[in-house]
Structure 1
C-alpha cells in the first residue's frame, strides 16, 4: 500500500485562516506540543512573519522565544517558517540583509524547514533565499508554486516556473500551493502531471483550502495523481477556510489503498484539547464549507475577508463588502492578474476598498500598489492597464521612488542609522526594525513567555 505523509498546518495556517492568527498563544501550543511531536508528521507548519507580528502585538510574546520553547518541546518533528523572501512582518519590502538575518535567527532558535512563497515566482529571489537558508543551517527549503486562475496562469506557465525552481540545487521540495481554494479535482488531474514531469525526482507536496468546498476531493485526486505528501489540519482548526481535516482524508484514502504512519489516536487527543481551548476562548471551530463558485471569480483568500470587513466597518461601510469584492476582480485585472497571495492580495484588496470608500477609483493609491507597479515584488504576470499605469506614475511619491534604486544597506548600516548598537540583540533589532517601538516595549515589559495554559 502507498504511504501518505502529512504536514500539519493546525498551528499556523489553521489558526490564521479561522482565528485571524490571534487564537493560539504559546502556552496553548505547548499544551499539545509533546503529543504533536509523537504524532508522526513529516513537518509542522509552525510560524510565519505574520504570526510573529501577532505574537508581539496581541500576545506580548517574543516570537523568537516562542520558536525556542516549541522546538524544545517538539525535538523530533521539523518546525517550519514561512516567508515571501522579500519582507519581514510588515508588507513593506525589506533589504536582503534583513531577510538573511531573519533566516539565520529563526534557524538558530530551532526552525529546520523554510517554505517560500513569491507571488511572481521570481527565480532570482527564490535562489537567493534558498542559498541564504542553507547557509543558515536550514535542513529543508520548500518553494511554493502558487496556483491562480487567469489568462496567463496556464499549464505552460507552471511548467516553466517549476523547471526554473528545481534548477536551483538548494531547493529541496516543491509544493503546489492553492491559497485561494481554487483547485478542482479536474484541474488537479490536468496540472499535477505537468508539474511532476517538470520537477523530476524532487518531492511534490500539495496545500489547499476548503474555502470553495472542494478541498477533500482535491486531495483525493492529488493522491490518485501520485502526490503522497498532503498539508492538513486538525479540528477545530480544519475545514471552513482552513485545510481539510486529516481525519477525513485518512478515512477516505483507505479506498485508494493508501496508509499512513500518523498516530490517529494521538491526533484525537490533540483535537479534543484544541476543542476545549476553543470553548474556553470563545473561538468558533471550522465547519465543512458548501461549494461556492464565487471564489473562482474574486480569488480572495478566506482569511482576507475578515480584514476587508474590518476595514469597511471602520468607515461605516461594512454593508458594501459585495461592491468591494466586485472591485477586487476589476483591480486585479487592471494590475495584470497578480496572484492573490500575501502581500499582493492585501495590496489589491486595500486598493479596491479605498476605491469604494473614497467614491473615486485610484484617488488614493497605497504604497504597496506603487511598489508593485515599480517592480518591487517582481514583474506583473500580464501588462498593467495603461490608464492605471499613468495614474500611478503621475503621483509625486511614485516619481520620487523611481529616481532611487531600492536601497540595500547592510545590517551594520541599518543599526547605525537607527541607533541600535551591538548591545541590542539580533532578535530585538529585527522586531524594532519591523514593528512600532511601543509594541516592542510592551512585549519586553510583559517579560518571558508564560509556558502554562490552564483549560
Structure 2
C-alpha cells in the first residue's frame, strides 16, 4: 500500500539566505512559483518569517505585492507561511487587532496553511494566532521547537504537541533549525507520538551536520507524513535538505513522493541563469564541527557574533566572545535560537565582553526577555539572572508593550497600514522610496498602446474584447483594466477564459510598420513580433506573429463590449 510522503518546498523562504532574501525579486518569484506549481509538491512554503522584513528592507519591495504575485502564479498548490505566534512576522508581540487583521489579509490574498510557532515554545503566545487561523477556515500546523536544554525531555515535547492539538491545530511540526536532532532521537519521538496521536506529523530539520536526510528517512518509516525540503540549487547547511536527495532515497518505495524531476531540472537551470545574471557568489563551504566539543556554538550564532563584533570594532575579542556566548546561551537554558532570541544572546554576549564583567548591564533585548515580554522563561540557569528577572517582572507588572494598529497620515490601503504597524520606521522609508519611484518621469509610452489611458477615457469605438484562434483552439479575452506605467512597462489586466490575468507589455522596437514587444505573464516573458496582417476575411482577421522566433498564424475577431 502506497504511503507517499507529502513534500513541501521551502526554497522561496528557507533556501540559501544570501540569495533568497537579497536577490529574488517579484518577477523571479512569479516565474519560480509557476514552475514549482507543476512539480507536484504538497505545499509551497514561500512567505512569512524573515521574508516579509527582507522584502521591505533589502529588496525595497512590498511584501504583500510579492504574495499576490505568488498566488497568481501558483494556482494548484497550497501556499504556506510561517507565523511567529502573536509576534506575526515581527520582533515583538502585537495587539490582537493587529494579529486578526494581518492573518485575515494573508488568508484573503492566498495563504492556505499557517505554520505557527513561538520562539520560547510558549503556548499562550500561539493561542490567539491558532484560534484566528481556524476561524478563517485555514489549515494550522502548530510547531514544537527542539531545544538543546538537557532538562527538556521527550515527554515535554509530547505534552506541548498535545496542548497544541487541543487548541485546534490540524497537524504538528517538529522544528530543529540547528540540525542537532539525531536520527535516533527522531525515531524515538515520532514512534512515541504515533502511539498517542493520529494527527499528521511534519519534520522541519536543517542540515547543519549532514544528518537531516537520514533523520527524515528514519522519521518517515516511523510514521511522519510530511517533510520540508529545498531545491539543490539553493540548498545550504542552515536549511532543510535537498528534495532531489530525498527523491533518490525514496524512489521506487512505498514512500515515493512522485515529484516531477524534469520540472526540478528546469527550475535549477532557471536559478543558475539568475545567479549568473546577478553575478552571485556561492558561500564558501563550512567545516562541520562536532557538537560534542566543549563550548559548542552553532555556526549561525557565530556568524551573528562576528558581525556584531565587527560593528563594535572588537574583532580581536572573537575567541573570548565565543566562549562567553556559550555561557550566556547556557544561562538562558539553551533556548531554541529562533527569531529575536539569537540577537539577544549576541547583544548581551558582546556587552559582557566589552564591559569585562558579566551582566554589569543588561541590554534592552535581554531586559525584555527576562521581564517575560516574549513569554515566560522557565529555564533560567543563572541565579543572578533569575533574581533580576523576578525584580524586573514586578516592576513591569501591568504595563503593555504590544504593537498597536497604527494608521500613518496619508496611508489608507490596509496592507500599508499593517506594514506600518509592524515596522513603522522601515515602512516609512519604503513608502517614501515608493513615492519617489512613482513620481519619477515615465519613459515615453509605446505609441501603439492606446490602452495606457484609463478605461473610462478610451473611445467606445476601440474594441475591448477579442476572440483569438490558434491551431484550431479558440480563446476569448477581454480588457478589464489598465495598471500603472512602470518605466517602459505597461501593466494591463485581461480576462482570459474567465480568469483575470496581469500582463506586462514592453515595447522593444517601433521601427518600421511592425512593432516588437516583450509580453510577461506569470513570470514568463515572450518576444512578440508582428510580421504580416492580411485584409479582413469575413469576421476574422488573419495575423502572423513571430513568437519567440516561431512564426504562428492567429485568427483575430474583435468584440465590442459595453
Asked if 1:69 is matched to 2:69, the reply is yes
Other structure's SS at 1:86 match:
helix
TM norm structure 1: 0.87
How far does residue 344 in structure 1 lie from its aligned partner after superposition? Answer: 1.8
Alignment partners' CA distance in 2, 1:441 and 1:333: 43
Other structure's SS at 1:115 match:
strand
How far does residue 208 in structure 1 lie from its aligned partner after superposition? Answer: 0.8
- Structure 1 pair 118–399 and aligned structure 2 pair: CA distance change class (3 A): closer
Asked if 1:435 is matched to 2:424, the reply is yes
Alignment partners' CA distance in 1, 2:320 and 2:245: 36
Alignment partners' CA distance in 2, 1:295 and 1:368: 29
Structure of greater relative contact order (alpha carbons < 8 Å, 6+ residues apart):
1
Alignment partners' CA distance in 2, 1:297 and 1:283: 36
Alignment partners' CA distance in 2, 1:298 and 1:61: 40
Offset from partner CA, 1:281-327 (integer Å, 9 cap, x none): 23344788664224887776655543332222222333544433322
Alignment partners' CA distance in 2, 1:231 and 1:97: 31
Task: Give matches, 1:38-117, under 5 Å.
Answer: 38-117=38-117
Alignment partners' CA distance in 2, 1:363 and 1:102: 39
Alignment partners' CA distance in 2, 1:295 and 1:440: 48
Q: Could you tell me whether the CA contact under 8 Å between 1:233 and 1:244 is conserved in 2?
A: yes
Other structure's SS at 1:242 match:
coil
Other structure's SS at 2:81 match:
strand
Runs of 5+ unmatched residues, structure 2: 439-483, 490-503, 505-519, 526-562
Q: Could you tell me whether the CA contact under 8 Å between 1:337 and 1:380 is conserved in 2?
A: no
Moved more, 253-262 or 423-432: 253-262
Q: Could you tell me whether the CA contact under 8 Å between 1:338 and 1:381 is conserved in 2?
A: no
Q: Could you tell me whether the CA contact under 8 Å between 1:371 and 1:377 is conserved in 2?
A: yes
Alignment partners' CA distance in 2, 1:356 and 1:443: 41
- Structure 1 pair 360–430 and aligned structure 2 pair: CA distance change class (3 A): farther
Task: Give matches, 1:255-266, under 5 Å.
Answer: 257-266=254-263
Offset from partner CA, 1:347-393 (integer Å, 9 cap, x none): 22222233224433224423222122111222223245221244567
Asked if 1:152 is matched to 2:151, the reply is yes
Runs of 5+ unmatched residues, structure 1: none
Task: Give matches, 1:298-317, under 5 Å.
Answer: 303-317=300-314
Structure 2 residue corresponding to 1:386, chosen from 383, 387, 399? 383
Task: Give matches, 1:255-334, under 5 Å.
Answer: 257-285=254-282, 291-294=288-291, 303-334=300-331
Q: Could you tell me whether the CA contact under 8 Å between 1:146 and 1:176 is conserved in 2?
A: yes
Give the structure 1 partner of residue 207 of structure 2.
Answer: 210
Offset from partner CA, 1:42-64 (integer Å, 9 cap, x none): 11111124211111112111100
Offset from partner CA, 1:152-209 (integer Å, 9 cap, x none): 221111111111111122x1111110111111112112222123334x1111010111
Other structure's SS at 2:172 match:
strand
How far does residue 21 in structure 1 lie from its aligned partner after superposition? Answer: 2.4
TM norm structure 2: 0.72
How far does residue 30 in structure 1 lie from its aligned partner after superposition? Answer: 1.4
Kindly report the root-mean-square deviation, in angstroms, between the aligned alpha carbons of the 2 structures.
Answer: 2.9
Task: Flag the structure with larger Rg.
Answer: 2
Other structure's SS at 1:174 match:
strand
Moved more, 69-78 or 301-310: 301-310
Alignment partners' CA distance in 2, 1:454 and 1:374: 51
Moved more, 341-350 or 245-254: 341-350
Alignment partners' CA distance in 2, 1:299 and 1:92: 28
How far does residue 266 in structure 1 lie from its aligned partner after superposition? Answer: 0.5
Alignment partners' CA distance in 2, 1:383 and 1:351: 15
Asked if 1:406 is matched to 2:394, the reply is no
Alignment partners' CA distance in 2, 1:212 and 1:31: 32
- Structure 1 pair 29–220 and aligned structure 2 pair: CA distance change class (3 A): same
Other structure's SS at 1:112 match:
strand
Moved more, 62-71 or 151-160: 151-160
Alignment partners' CA distance in 2, 1:151 and 1:139: 35
Alignment partners' CA distance in 1, 2:47 and 2:298: 18
Moved more, 44-53 or 288-297: 288-297
Give the structure 2 partner of residue 376 of structure 1.
Answer: 373
How far does residue 410 in structure 1 lie from its aligned partner after superposition? Answer: 6.4
Offset from partner CA, 1:199-244 (integer Å, 9 cap, x none): x111101011111221221112112212131100002211322211
Structure 2 residue corresponding to 1:251, chosen from 244, 248, 252? 248
Give the structure 2 partner of residue 177 of structure 1.
Answer: 175
Alignment partners' CA distance in 2, 1:228 and 1:426: 37
Task: Give matches, 1:221-240, under 5 Å.
Answer: 221-240=218-237
Q: Could you tell me whether the CA contact under 8 Å between 1:12 and 1:45 is conserved in 2?
A: yes
Q: Which has the higher helix share?
A: 1
How far does residue 70 in structure 1 lie from its aligned partner after superposition? Answer: 0.7
- Structure 1 pair 401–94 and aligned structure 2 pair: CA distance change class (3 A): farther
Alignment partners' CA distance in 1, 2:212 and 2:286: 9
Moved more, 179-188 or 277-286: 277-286
Alignment partners' CA distance in 1, 2:308 and 2:129: 33
